[in-house]
Amino acid sequence: MPEGRRFFAAQAWIAGGWARDVLLVAGHDGRWAEMRAGAGQADRAGAEVLPGPVLPGVANGHSHAFQRAMAGLAELSPAGRDDFWSWRDRMYAAALRITPSQLEAIATFLYAELLQAGYTQVCEFHYLHNDLDGKPYADPLEMSLALVRAAKRAGIGLTLLPTLYMRSGFTAAGLRVDQRRFASTPDSVLRIAQALRKLGADDTSLTAGIAIHSMRAVDAGALRETAQAARGAGMPVHIHIAEQQLEVDDCIAQHGRRPIEWLLEQDLLDGGWNLVHATHASVAELHGVQRSGAAIVLCPSTEANLGDGVFDLPAWLAAGGRCCIGSDSHITRSWMEELRLLEYSGRLVLRQRNVAARAAGREATAAVLFDAAIGGGGAAADLPLAGLAAGQRADFCVLDPASPALLGIPADRVLDAAVFSSPDARVARVFVGGAEPRPPAAHAAGFAAAMHALWGGVA
């Protein structure tokens, strides 16, 4: 493979540990052609010397880009009970305002923020399909293409997941009025996904899969139809599942089974499925998911912000399950904070330390969490993003060794400090497919204008 760019890193995270004096060679196709640890002076000739420790880029397994517009604007409690369901009503108010141009501006800034934090691919769980009145756009891809343009402008990779959303609840005949922009069919989401995969056929940073919003939002026949179509097309499937206890209770009332239990009984799950949240999954369900090969996408900051509950990470890791992380509602855009919250939630519940490491039978908690995010993230995105290895896309970030979190830290403890010493270690540079995107500041004005148009300075 012809060389495109050569880099030298004093230390780089390869195959679950730190390697020293690493030559990283990217091909013209944007994938890694070679990794060589212990590189001598002659090997380094002509290579760009990177200014700090190098980590693989992280795939963000779950995003609702439009919700970046309400980060920090849902923290005043309404009268009465405040929970996920009351937050959802406020989220709908935002969803009903955003135009395609505003979505593009918001997503562009968000995606640049994600890049600056070291995310290099984002799985966009996209259900804003229709216009403000709930009518189809003349081009069914109107809102989807706004997200594609945003990703291109920011420089991040995008896995777009057009989302099936057909009803407001298990016993409902259709959608509520405030859900009108979400209306879709198995055929409509499949056509969007196929069009985007065609658009990204020669693009290593763009692909598409299918999302099913949730079991409450789709009847059993449509769920099976969509899942089978995705499987036949070789697309990944993402679904919100068991996020709230009420959802579990309603599913039992409707189907006589818990949500994940029902999916397992239908023999629907396989290695292409990604179950988002699974907060209220039982241990038996988790073992079933692991046997199926499906993965779980965890969004600790959003799950905490919405009061969802705590996922049973120790049981999942002990079972050898695959997982990754996502920033979901984007109240934080840092994978370091997501991993920190994921571990700390387990510590608070169990009143123990290094929960993930002990569950996985390893020594270092940060390594367990980070390797899970890398391995599961590439699968969720349906792209070769499994770290610094030949054949994988040449995505990486360079940590700033002058970050307060890293000052004086021994080289073999840099990842631990990056995850568990707050504020986060700064990311000095980030690369996608061997190229360096523009910084978030380049897109701030468009974001600010969109926010002003949406909220007029007062939420």
Helix axes 142-154, 186-199, angle to 10 degrees: 30
- What is the SS3 assignment for 176? coil
How distant is the alpha carbon of residue 177 from its chain centre?
29
Beta-carbon count within 10 A of 416 CB = 16
C-alpha angle with apex 166: 283 to 104, nearest 5 degrees? 95
**What is the average pLDDT across 314-322?**
97
pLDDT in tens, 173-223: 999 999 999 999 999 999 999 999 999 999 999 999 999 999 999 999 999
Tell me the pLDDT of the chain averaged across its residues.
96
Domain 58-381 has CATH 3.90.1150.10: no
CB-CB contact of 154 with 148 (8 Å)? no
CA distances from 319 to 297, 403, 434, 459 (A): 16, 36, 35, 44
In this prediction, residue 440 has a pLDDT band, given cuts at 50, 70 and 90, of confident
Integer Cα distance of 256 and 240 in angstroms: 19
CA–CA gap between residue 134 and residue 105 (Å, rounded): 21
CA separation for the pair 141, 127 (Å, rounded): 11
- Whether the pLDDT of residue 459 is over 60: the answer is no
Q: How confident is the model at residue 441 (pLDDT cuts 50, 70, 90)?
A: confident
The residue annotated as part of the active site, out of 308, 328, 371, 395, is: 328
217-257: per-residue pLDDT in tens? 999 999 999 999 999 999 999 999 999 999 999 999 999 99
Whether the full predicted model's pTM is greater than 0.85, yes or no, is yes
Query: Using an 8 Å Cβ cutoff, are 161 and 124 in contact?
Result: yes
From 234, 230, 259, select the one nearest 244 (Cα to Cα). Answer: 259
Q: What whole-number distance in Å separates Cα of residue 53 and Cα of residue 255?
A: 51
Q: What are residue 298's DSSP bridge partners?
A: 325
- Residue 458 pLDDT exceeds 80: no
Q: Is 328 a catalytic residue?
A: yes
**Cis ω for the linkage preceding 384 (within 30 of 0):** no
Band (pLDDT 50/70/90 cuts) for residue 136 is very high
Confidence label for 77 from pLDDT (cuts 50, 70 and 90) = confident
Question: Residues 359, 412: contact at Cβ < 8 Å?
Answer: no
Helix (H) or strand (E) holding 126: strand 119-126
Q: Which of 213, 277, 280, 330 is catalytic?
A: 277
Please give the CATH number for the structural domain made up of 3-56+389-442: 2.30.40.10
Distance from CA of residue 79 to its chain's centroid?
33
Give the pLDDT of residue 2. 56
How far is 100 from 453, CA to CA, in rounded Å? 13
Domain boundaries, the chain: 3-56+389-442, 58-381
> Does position 439 have pLDDT exceeding 80, yes or no?
no
Burial of 202 (0-12, 13-18, 19+ CB in 10 A): exposed
55 φ, ψ (degrees, to nearest 5): -120, 150
Interval 91-117: pLDDT, tens: 999 999 999 999 999 999 999 999 999
Helix (H) or strand (E) holding 59, with range, is strand 58-63
Least confidently predicted of 43-47, 329-333, 346-350, 448-452: 43-47
Q: Span 268-288, mean pLDDT?
A: 98
Q: Does residue 281 carry a pLDDT above 90?
A: yes
The yes-or-no answer to whether 3-56+389-442 and 58-381 have a common fold is no
**Whether the Cβ atoms of residue 57 and residue 118 lie closer than 8 Å to each other:** yes
Alpha helices in 266-334 (DSSP H): 283-292, 300-305, 313-318
Percent of the residues in the chain that have a pLDDT greater than 70, as a whole number? 99
Write out the two tokens for 172.
């409902």
Task: Look at residue 1 and tell me whether its pLDDT is greater than 50.
Answer: no
| Catalytic residue check, 277 | yes
Both structure tokens of 336: 């370091």
Give the model's confidence band at 78: pLDDT under 50 very low, under 70 low, under 90 confident, else very high: confident
What pairing do the DSSP bridges indicate for beta strands 210-212 and 237-241? parallel
